[in-house]
Structure 1
Amino acid sequence: MKKLYFLATAFYLTGFMNANSFNQKPITSKPAADNDIQVVSGKINKFLVAGSETAIRLTIKNVGTNNITSVEFNWNDGTGDHKEKITAYLNVGQQREITHPILTSYTDIASKNITLTITKVNDNADSNPADNNLTVTTSVVSQFLPKKVVFEEGTGTWCGWCPRGMVALDKVNEDYPNDQISIAVHNGDPMVLAAYNAGAAFAGYPGMNVDRELKGVDVSPNSIGNHVATRKLIAAPAKLSGEYSIINNQLTANVAAQFFIVNNNVNYRLAAVVVEDEVQGTASGYRQSNYYAGGGNGPMGGFENLPATVPANQMIYNHVGRALLGGYAGQTGSIPTSVTDEQIVNYTFSYTVPAAYNQEKLSTVLLLLDATDGTILNAVKLDKTALAVNNIKPNAANITLYPNPAKSDFNLKLAADGTYNVVIFDVSGKMVKNYGVVKSNSKTINLPINLTPGKYFVNISQDGNSITKDLLVK
């Protein structure tokens, strides 16, 4: 009996073990913890002034299973490696930005492609080096060009918090009148410009984009000036200039961009924004909702003393974006793909001004855009050409133009010798000839024409004062 018992027991145990072995998943060993950094993005100033220094930054993420305490960061612009060990604490899944301690500096006016690489993690090789590098590009500018900072503020008369944006723009225009340009982008009211809203894509109202690079910025009268103080120091690749005229509701803007970089692969565009100040209306859509009424939400530039719905006849709206010339993304083909140092690119925008707009309160803003990321590289408010007498000095008032009609040339008879700016426009307001600065001799200036027959306007200016004379060319 004992023998049979032992045999049965052995058979049972053997069957139990075999059954469990049959159903059990294969045993696998746990992989060893690894060091794996992923390079997320790199940053360097788009434009560097020749001889200046700037830092290179890299955003990295720990996608391995080890916590990270250090990385080796290398940059190479084709002239050699710049490897540095950087203390960087990243738990698994954590992301952070690091800065290379060796600054870049160049004296040659050229574009630079710089490869950024994480070469070691925790003093060891990265387990997946395929995602450890990227390339950033910068261009060296031959001279520093102060940048105009552009504020695009999302607003609407229905928005009770939007008085804060109006007060902020008034504040920055008072504190920095020459360093920034403000544009109010209306939504959901009679001043709406649908294409502008679609392009700006404000997440809320009031909203603010700065140079189309900083998105969703807080609209605060107390902090808006900080953006000007820092961003006006950013180098720009080109100096913008130009002028516009309005004749018979036709706005013509003749603009120019003078570049101070050398780059054979740019993706830049020009755009112009028509802006109107002192906009008023009597319809209910011009009434402003005001959550600052009564002062419960603090002072806000006087809106605390106004009712919760400010009547239309008490509201004046400034900086109103009225038209996008070239579209929100800029005019395709307005800038060549290759530019060189001191190259000047000219372009002309045209726009028919609606009769409801006050032409005397319009202005035109020229933008230089980077079409690759949509950012504004520089901007300027264009000068308006007076095709009528404007603040005439005694000398200018006594200018005589002859012969008239003229064929090949004409003369300007002046009251006194001096230097004058002379420009000719056609009847549409387009500049057809710019003589630049000319100097008189014996109180006379002789100028060639070389224009097709027709009527033109000759604008003569001196020291900010001008007069326009009719000219018939036969």
Structure 2
Amino acid sequence: MQKKSTLRLFLALSLALFQANAYAQVSTLPAQEAYVDINSNGVNLPISLSKMGKGVRSIEYTLTQGGKVIATKTINIPAQSMTSSGQSAVNVLIPPYNDTTVDELSLNIIKVNGQPTNMKEPYTTIIRKTLSQYATRKVVVEDYTAMWCGWCPRGLAMLSYLTRQHPNDFIGIAIHGSSDPLMCRDYSDMTSRISGYPTITFDRSVDSKDYSGENTFNSERRQGADMDVSVSAVWDRQKRNISITTKTTFRTRPYRNTYALAYVLTADGLQSRSYYQKNYFSGNRQYSGYTNELNYFVNAPSTISNFKFDHTAISALGITSGINGSISQIVVDKPQTHTASFDNISQYRVIQDKSKLHVVVLVLNTSTGKIVNADQCEISDHTPSGIESAPTTDEVVEVARYNISGALLDKPVKGLNIVKYSDGRIVKEIVK
């Protein structure tokens, strides 16, 4: 009898000791980011409890900054919110700092189910970015594609779907690979880094493996941004060159200025009898129902002739790591302006309709290589300033364009065009 009592006491003490130390060696989470408006009460940051294991019914945590506790709270976790594998998450309120800057908080879980954890390290660290106001975040997808690639319609469909669903928050760029008629040479360095086609990358951060991209888009957009960015572009009088102006306004003061701008010229509606798209989705009903855009390829032939390509990268500036000096000294809420240009547009023979061109600006974090924000615009027509010099006599420009029947054209049209230049030359030009 005495042995049984001793055994019960031993088991009870062992259980108590286990409960007191069960979470002492819990592995930690990677650092999290939180964007907080300085004028708000704070923002709820979802924190996964997957590292805590099963059976968690409550936690008590502290938030510390520089070793000083700034918040303590107990959160009860309903049993129904815990999955069978022990997955759950809680919202931790992150208050703003008293200045628009970036600092680091530690989230320490000090009790689980009322028992001390004795954890030696923070469960996770939180990079808190206190903003003067929330910045608008736009998500970029770079789709590395090719006409000869039969699985590449997945990326083409995704770009079209996300453009339709999120026209104001999404920017798609289709980069055609080597030996492709629509290849963008300025992207050659980036193209050399991919492992195959298609490669579909969100913000140079996450490779997408699904068919709509909706979940990845939402996840990227929720991450927020340190800055607002807007771009505008205008043609010169002859529509030969494009002048670009970008305004970037930071809403917080980062640790370091590791940012730079890059630019991409894209075209929609590129179509030719020599263009085609290989399509391995043809007739594969298992891919039906994801999006209307992918359904098109399921119902299309295995080789789509005269295919129309959108979002196509034509030229780029600073596309690998940004343009040096394009982001100057950062002052919160003070807009800074950068100018650039795409020149001699006629060199890009694949352009068919200048009204279907767009300019994209990318904000790159040069430390991580990620795209952290972006904007896109159409190109406005040239507006005379009222004080404008006449064209120089040595500048050769197109003065008229006719079709084979002699009718005057206002833009290039498919087929044979007859072009008259200011130096008197008349040239026959075939537009595909």
Q: TM-score, normalised by structure 2?
A: 0.65
Q: 1:266 aligns with which of 257, 260, 275?
A: 257
The equivalent residue for 1:339 is: 330
> Structure 1 or 2: larger strand share?
1
Report the CA distance shift for 1:366/1:239 in structure 2 as closer, same or farther (over 3 A).
same
Q: Is the 8 A contact 1:243 1:384 kept in 2?
A: yes
Query: The residue matched to 2:168 in structure 1 has which SS?
Result: coil
Q: 2:106 aligns with which of 116, 135, 143?
A: 116
Q: Which deviates further from its counterpart, 291-300 or 138-147?
A: 291-300
Report the CA distance shift for 1:59/1:225 in structure 2 as closer, same or farther (over 3 A).
closer
Report the CA distance shift for 1:160/1:265 in structure 2 as closer, same or farther (over 3 A).
same
More relative contact order, 1 or 2 (CA 8 Å, 6+ apart): 2
The equivalent residue for 2:154 is: 164
Structure 2 unaligned runs (5+)? 1-17, 78-84, 289-293, 396-432
1:242 aligns with 2:231: yes
Report the CA distance shift for 1:235/1:388 in structure 2 as closer, same or farther (over 3 A).
same
The equivalent residue for 1:37 is: 26
Mapped to 2, the partners of 1:96 and 1:114 lie a distance apart of: 28
Number of equivalenced pairs: 348
Q: What is the root-mean-square deviation in Å for CA atoms of aligned residues?
A: 4.2
Query: 1:166 Cα deviation (Å)?
Result: 2.0
Query: 1:319 Cα deviation (Å)?
Result: 0.3
Report the CA distance shift for 1:383/1:259 in structure 2 as closer, same or farther (over 3 A).
farther
Query: The residue matched to 2:31 in structure 1 has which SS?
Result: strand
Report the CA distance shift for 1:114/1:99 in structure 2 as closer, same or farther (over 3 A).
farther
Report the CA distance shift for 1:47/1:85 in structure 2 as closer, same or farther (over 3 A).
closer
Mapped to 2, the partners of 1:234 and 1:61 lie a distance apart of: 21
The equivalent residue for 2:209 is: 218
Between structure 1 and structure 2, the one with the greater Rg is: 1
Q: State the AA in 2 paired with 1:254.
A: T
Q: State the AA in 2 paired with 1:343.
A: K
Mapped to 2, the partners of 1:292 and 1:100 lie a distance apart of: 41
The equivalent residue for 1:251 is: 242
Q: State the AA in 2 paired with 1:123.
A: P
Query: The residue matched to 1:103 in structure 2 has which SS?
Result: strand
Query: The residue matched to 1:382 in structure 2 has which SS?
Result: strand
Structure 1 unaligned runs (5+)? 1-31, 89-94, 390-399, 407-427, 429-474
Deviations, residues 393-437 of structure 1 (Å, cap 9, x unaligned)? xxxxxxx947x879xxxxxxxxxxxxxxxxxxxxx9xxxxxxxxx
Query: 1:137 Cα deviation (Å)?
Result: 2.4
The equivalent residue for 2:374 is: 379
Q: Is the 8 A contact 2:49 2:89 kept in 1?
A: no
Report the CA distance shift for 1:203/1:68 in structure 2 as closer, same or farther (over 3 A).
farther
Q: Is the 8 A contact 1:270 1:366 kept in 2?
A: yes
Q: Is the 8 A contact 1:50 1:140 kept in 2?
A: no
Mapped to 1, the partners of 2:27 and 2:139 lie a distance apart of: 34
Query: The residue matched to 2:116 in structure 1 has which SS?
Result: coil
Query: 1:355 Cα deviation (Å)?
Result: 3.5
Mapped to 1, the partners of 2:102 and 2:144 lie a distance apart of: 36
1:114-263 map, 5 Å:
114-116=104-106, 118=108, 123-126=116-119, 129=120, 132=122, 135-188=125-178, 189-193=180-184, 196=187, 199=190, 205-213=197-205, 215-220=206-211, 223-227=212-216, 232=221, 235-247=224-236, 249-263=240-254
Mapped to 1, the partners of 2:89 and 2:28 lie a distance apart of: 13
Q: TM-score, normalised by structure 1?
A: 0.60
Identity among equivalent positions (%) equals 22
Mapped to 2, the partners of 1:86 and 1:372 lie a distance apart of: 37
Mapped to 2, the partners of 1:263 and 1:278 lie a distance apart of: 40
Report the CA distance shift for 1:331/1:384 in structure 2 as closer, same or farther (over 3 A).
same
Query: 1:104 Cα deviation (Å)?
Result: 1.0
The equivalent residue for 2:318 is: 326
Q: Is the 8 A contact 1:146 1:234 kept in 2?
A: no
Q: 2:303 aligns with which of 279, 297, 309?
A: 309
Report the CA distance shift for 1:97/1:105 in structure 2 as closer, same or farther (over 3 A).
farther
Q: Is the 8 A contact 1:161 1:292 kept in 2?
A: yes
